[in-house]
Amino acid sequence: MVNTPSSLDAGFDSGTPIGPAAALGGGSGAPAKLHPFGDLHTLQHLSARAARGVRQTFEGYWRAETRAWAEPLEVLRLADYRAARGDKLTAWLPLSMDGRPALCVLDSQFVVEIIDLFFGGTGDVSPVLALEFTPACDVIVARIAKALARALETAWEPLARARFTAEPFELGGSMIPGVEGDEVVIATRFAIARGSAKPAFVDILYPVATLKPHTVALTGKVVAKPSEVDAEWRTQLTRAAMGVRFPVRSVLAEPTIPLSRLMDLKEGDIIPISFGADVPIVVGGMALGLGTVGTSNGRAAIRISKFEGPLQ
């Protein structure tokens, strides 16, 4: 289930607050000086689209029915976001959007639970095991980062052909790669839950500088206006399509012989065949119709006597 309202989850745990967004203008009330993207409705819609790919990413690891939805966006400085997370061990995964930095953020507890579920456990993991990242965490997190990059790229495709990639990283480091602490970021949060369990959270942080090349697309209004077809382009396309070549085949007969006869065949032997007045004509693997075998201009040919299939 994608974009399920969080209010449907009894005992919903909102997790770590994203940060003091009110001071910076979180969500749709953000002051224009912090970002040029208006009410952020377009970006919120993209996050809702991306929730489907996020769900598929984690559903494949714990092999259970999964719910996923996008939480409301927040605008804040990276330093404030980091302060809100406290001292919890966090995986800061660098992504790139057309070569510009972005971040994916995962709690260590969530990562350890995924590993336990992936290897057949229940996901009920002691917090003590989440105090450090193991080599298994490195492998799983790298795969998750690549899958999330694909999900984001797919979600953005209707708006902009942005290329998302997962960059090399080192888990457990204190430095956040690619983004300075005083930079303003737009935090998109995805909630993921197995069945009726409480959700865990995955955050994608877009620095404002990363999104600026897409300002027009993020602030523009979608208007359903039919575009005129380029006549020259249509002519060239038609000419190219009409020039496509298809193989034409006709089978006169398909006799059968026993294996004993086949083993005794030698040069000069004759295999008798018989066929009716009409033989099948096949074009590109599709039955075209029936035809009569004859000659034309001194070459063997088939005269079409009846159309069948799609041309009937």
Has residue 310 got a pLDDT over 90?
no
* First CA to last CA distance, the chain: 45
Has residue 14 got a pLDDT over 80?
no
Please state, rounded to an integer, the average pLDDT across all residues of the chain. 80
Q: Which pTM does this prediction carry? A: 0.61
Residue 32: predicted pLDDT: 44
- The C-alpha torsion from 64 through 136 and 86 to 106, rounded to 10°, is -40
Give the pLDDT band of residue 173 (cuts 50, 70, 90).
Answer: low
Give the pLDDT band of residue 172 (cuts 50, 70, 90).
Answer: low
Has residue 40 got a pLDDT over 90?
no
CA 237 from centroid of its chain's CA atoms: 29
Residue 22: predicted pLDDT: 36
Residue 228: predicted pLDDT: 67
Has residue 307 got a pLDDT over 90?
no
Question: Per residue in 16-35, pLDDT tens?
Answer: 555 544 334 444 444 445 67
Q: What is the mean pLDDT of residues 39-62?
A: 88
Q: What is the mean pLDDT of residues 213-239?
A: 74
Domains and CATH numbers, the chain: 6-219 (3.40.1550.10), 244-311 (2.30.330.10)
Residue 50: predicted pLDDT: 93
Residue 31: predicted pLDDT: 41
Residue keyed to tokens 């993921």: 192
Burial of 242 by CB count in 10 Å (0-12 exposed, 13-18 middle, 19+ buried)?
exposed
Residue 13: predicted pLDDT: 36
